[in-house]
Copies of this chain bind each other. A is one copy, B any other.
Amino acid sequence: MPRILIVEDEEAMLIGLRDNLEFEGYEVDTANRGDDGFKKLQSGSYDLVLLDVMLPGMSGFDVCKKTRAEDNDTPIILLTARGEELDKVLGLELGADDYVTKPFSLRELLARIKVILRRTANVKQDDSPQRVTIGQLQVSFDDFEALHNDEPVKMSYKEFEILHYLYRHAGRIVSRDDILDQVWGMDYQPTARTVDNFIVRLRNKIDTEDSQHIVTVHGIGYKLVL
C-alpha cells in the first residue's frame, strides 16, 4: 500500500487525516513541523505528501521548493487556507502537484490522492528504474544494481537490503536491532556483531577516505548521511 506523509501542525486535523487515510488502507507517517517533514521527505520513501502551508519550523512553500530543488519528485498536495497566497501555488513555480483549500471535503481529498497515485504509478512503470546516489555509488534498488563510475559493483542481496533500509531512513539513526528486525525478520536473528560486519562491507563500497556516509552513532546504531 502506498505510503503517505502528512505534515500538519494542527493536532485535530492531523489525527483526522491520519485515521481516515489509514482506514483507506494507506500507510501513514506524520510530522508536525515543516523542518521535520522536510527531513522525512529526504528519505524519499513516500508515495505522496499532504503538506500544510502554514507550519512552524519551515513553511509548506519552502518545504516544497527545497524538496524539488533536491530532485525529489515525491508528489505533493498542498493544504492551503483560504486567502493564502494561492498565486504562488497556481504559478507552478513551487512544483506542487495539486492543492486543496481548507475547509475541504474528505472525499475530494481522497479523490485527488487517488488520481495522483494512479498517475505516478503509470509514470514509474514507463520510467527507467530509480537511481539514487549514495556516496560514490549509483544504486538502483529496483534491479539490485550498484555502479561506481558506470562500472558495476558487486553487492549481495543482504547488502542491498541493509543499504535499502538505511536509505529509507536516511538521516535518521537506526539501531542494530532495527536492522535485524527489518532485514532478518523477528524470528531468526544472528548476532548483533553480524550487522557490524555488513556495515564494514558496505562502507568499503560506499565510503571514500574523505567522506563517510555510514556514520556510527556510538551506543545507539548507525546513520546514513546522504
Q: In the complex, how many angstroms separate the beta carbon of A171 from the nearest chain B beta carbon?
A: 7
Would you call A112 an interface residue if the criterion is a C-beta within 8 Å of the partner chain's C-beta atoms? yes
* Docked-complex contact A103 and B107, CB < 8 angstroms: no
B92 and A105 within 8 A (CB): yes
Q: Mark A56-85, 1 if CB is under 8 A from B, else 0.
A: 000000000000100001000000000000
Chain B residues with Cβ below 8 Å from A119 are 126
Any B CB within 8 A of the CB of A185: no
Query: How many angstroms from the CA of A97 to the CA of B91 in the assembled complex?
Result: 21
Q: A96 at the A/B interface (Cβ < 8 Å)? A: yes
A90 at the interface (CB under 8 A from B): yes
Which residues of B lie under 8 Å from residue A68 when comparing CB positions?
A: 107
A111 within 8 A of B: yes
Q: A123-B111, A172-B129 are in contact. Are A219 and B105 (CB under 8 A)?
A: no
A226 sits at the interface (CB 8 A): no
Number of copies of this chain that the complex holds: 2
Task: Pick the contact of A115: B126, B157, B173 (CB < 8 A).
Answer: B126
Known: A97-B108, A220-B157. A115 touches B143 (CB 8 A): no
Residue A89 contacts which of B94, B103, B111, B144 (CB distance < 8 angstroms)?
B103
Separation of A64 and B180 alpha carbons in the complex (Å) = 45
* Contact A115:B144 (CB < 8 A) given known A95-B105, A96-B105, A156-B219: no
CB distance from A146 to the nearest CB of B (A): 12
Verify if A101 is at the interface (C-beta below 8 Å from B).
yes
Nearest-CB distance from A122 to chain B (Å)?
A: 8
Decide yes or no whether A9 CB sits under 8 A from chain B. no
Whether A143 touches B157, Cβ cut-off 8 Å, given contacts A92-B103, A94-B105, A119-B126, is no
Assess whether A98 is interfacial by the CB under 8 Å rule: yes
Interface residues of A (CB under 8 A from B): 68, 73, 86, 89-92, 94-99, 101, 103-108, 111-112, 115, 118-119, 122-123, 126-127, 129, 142-145, 156-157, 171-173, 217-220, 223
In the complex, given contacts A89-B103, A119-B126, what are 4 additional A-B residue pairs having Cβ atoms less than 8 angstroms apart? A68-B107, A90-B118, A95-B107, A143-B173
